[in-house]
């Protein structure tokens, strides 16, 4: 069983930056595709970005392309989300997720989320 713990959320001004981290334990991190999702108030949860096991494939939500960067450190069992040029629309609870190839297209493991608030 994989446990995922997000950190790094908080309050930022529009145009500012935050870096989220997701630490994984209980599994073989390097075998998991990792992803970030977000859930804004009054909206449905949406996919933000994913990164393959070797970081060879990365997919971004169009609205975050060029502003957000995902990376992973398999030696530290951690995935990161660098968020720059933040906008108020980025305000949401951000969730880390993990899945194996067998779980695709579903995401089998989820963190509890970290709140990101962007003020205008």
Tokens for 104? 């695709």
- What are the pLDDT digits (tens) for 68-107? 999 999 999 999 999 999 999 999 999 999 999 999 999 9
The per-residue pLDDT for 40 is: 97
Tokens for 15? 């145009």
The per-residue pLDDT for 1 is: 84
Average pLDDT over residues 38-43: 96
The per-residue pLDDT for 77 is: 97
CB-neighbour burial class of residue 61 (10 A; exposed 0-12, middle 13-18, buried 19+)? middle
Distance CA 120, CA 69 (A): 22
Distance CA 48, CA 70 (A): 10
Count, residues in the chain: 120
């Amino acid at each position: 069983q994989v446990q995922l713990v997000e950190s790094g959320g908080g309050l930022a001004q529009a145009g500012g930056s935050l870096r989220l981290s997701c630490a994984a334990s209980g599994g073989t991190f390097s075998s998991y595709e990792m992803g970030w999702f977000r859930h804004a108030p009054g909206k449905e949860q949406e996919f933000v970005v994913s990164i393959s096991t070797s970081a060879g494939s990365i997919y971004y939500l169009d609205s975050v392309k060029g502003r957000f960067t995902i990376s992973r450190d398999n030696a530290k069992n951690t995935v990161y989300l660098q968020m720059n040029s933040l906008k108020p629309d980025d305000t949401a609870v951000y969730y880390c997720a993990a899945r194996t190839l067998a779980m695709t297209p579903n995401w089998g493991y989820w963190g509890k989320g970290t709140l990101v608030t962007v003020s205008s």
